Amino acid sequence: MKFFIDTANLNEIREAHELGVLDGVTTNPTLMAKEGITGKNNILSHYKSVCDIVTGDVSAEVIATDFKEMVREGEELAEIDGKIVVKVPMTRDGIKAIKYFSDREIKTNCTLVFSAGQALLAAKAGASYVSPFIGRLDDVSTDGLALIEQMVLIYNNYGFETEILAASVRHVMHLVQCAELGADVVTCPLKVITGLLKHPLTDSGLEQFLADYRKGNAHGG
Ligand code: G3P
């Protein structure tokens, strides 16, 4: 399973990278705005800074909503670095753009996916990744993880190479359940990745081991 970090914050990206478990980064216009990155040139150079930190794929989202402009923006984004994956929303024009990029071997991430039908369509169009937003489904009393289960079944039935990139992953149990269900990738905030470290029995067990070591070695020897 690949771990992506869902942020545009360079310090958090560095921290996850230094942990040694980071396979890529996803961003979106909201996350860029949160870091105060505005204006086309700043946005493009920020993507370059992200690519310089990590070794894996970096999703960069188009802002355009019409096919022609999505293609223009996507090609510009793909020029930044070989790690860039063009992130395209699940719309009619988005699907056309994904097919266009896929025919030209430009990697894509179809975003804002909320149903199995949308996920099937995006895979059909040749998306490299499809991002079901599980937390946002949970927010509206719909089981986000059930969508992951459906997607795993459908993609396996037909051998689609499209990777399931579970997004809007809000907590550690989301991540663990995505792993149980066979999602290819999860993207989540740093705190979800570091949350995997935590268990009170690990903390108390280590404390005891160190206390016993100190007791045994108190008088030299
Ligand atoms: O990866 C998608 C993500 O950025 C959305 O997360 O928590 O805003 O639903 P959230």
Among 3, 6, 58, 112, which residue has the most ligand 1 atoms within 8 Å of its CB, making it the best to mutate? 6
Inform me whether the pLDDT recorded for 220 exceeds 90.
Answer: no
Q: What is the pLDDT of residues 192-212, one digit of tens each?
A: 999 999 999 999 999 999 999
Q: What is the pLDDT of residues 73-109, one digit of tens each?
A: 999 999 999 999 999 999 999 999 999 999 999 999 9
pLDDT of residue 116: 98
Mean pLDDT for the stretch of residues 37-46: 95
CA-proximal residue: ligand 1, atom 4 (nearest):
168
pLDDT of residue 218: 85
- Report residue 36's pLDDT band, with 50, 70 and 90 as the boundaries: very high
- Determine if ligand 1 sits within 6 Å of the CB of residue 128: no
Per-residue CA distances from 97 to 69, 72, 136 (Å): 9, 10, 25
Q: What distance in angstroms lies between residue 215's CA and the mean position of ligand 1's atoms?
A: 49
**Which residues in 25-37 are b (16+ Cβ under 10 Å) and which e?**
bbbbeebbeeeeb
Q: Which of 34, 87, 124, 215 is catalytic?
A: 87
Among 9, 27, 34, 168, which residue has the most ligand 1 atoms within 8 Å of its CB, making it the best to mutate? 168
Asked if residue 164 lies in contact with residue 148, where contact means CB atoms within 8 angstroms, the answer is: yes
Assess whether 99 carries a catalytic annotation: no
Atom nearest to 168 CA in ligand 1: 6
SS (H, E, C) the chain: CEEEEECCCHHHHHHHHHHCCCCEEECCHHHHHHCCCCCHHHHHHHHHHHHHHCCCEEEEECCCCCHHHHHHHHHHHHHHCCCEEEEEECCHHHHHHHHHHHHCCCCEEEEEECCHHHHHHHHHCCCCEEEEEHHHHHHCCCCHHHHHHHHHHHHHHHCCCCEEEEECCCCHHHHHHHHHHCCCEEEECHHHHHHCCCCHHHHHHHHHHHHHHHHHCCCCC
Q: List all residues 6 or more positions away from 56 whose beta carbon is below 8 Å from its beta carbon.
A: 2, 4, 22, 23, 24, 25, 83
- Determine if ligand 1 sits within 6 Å of the CB of residue 135: yes
Torsion of CA 191, 197, 201, 205, to 10 degrees: -130
- Determine if ligand 1 sits within 6 Å of the CB of residue 101: no
Inform me whether the pLDDT recorded for 221 exceeds 60.
Answer: no
Among 9, 12, 28, which residue has the most ligand 1 atoms within 8 Å of its CB, making it the best to mutate? 28
- Determine if ligand 1 sits within 6 Å of the CB of residue 136: yes
Cα angle 45, 99, 49; round to 5: 15
Q: What is the pLDDT of residues 149-190, one digit of tens each?
A: 999 999 999 999 999 999 999 999 999 999 999 999 999 999
d(CA 70, CA 87): 10
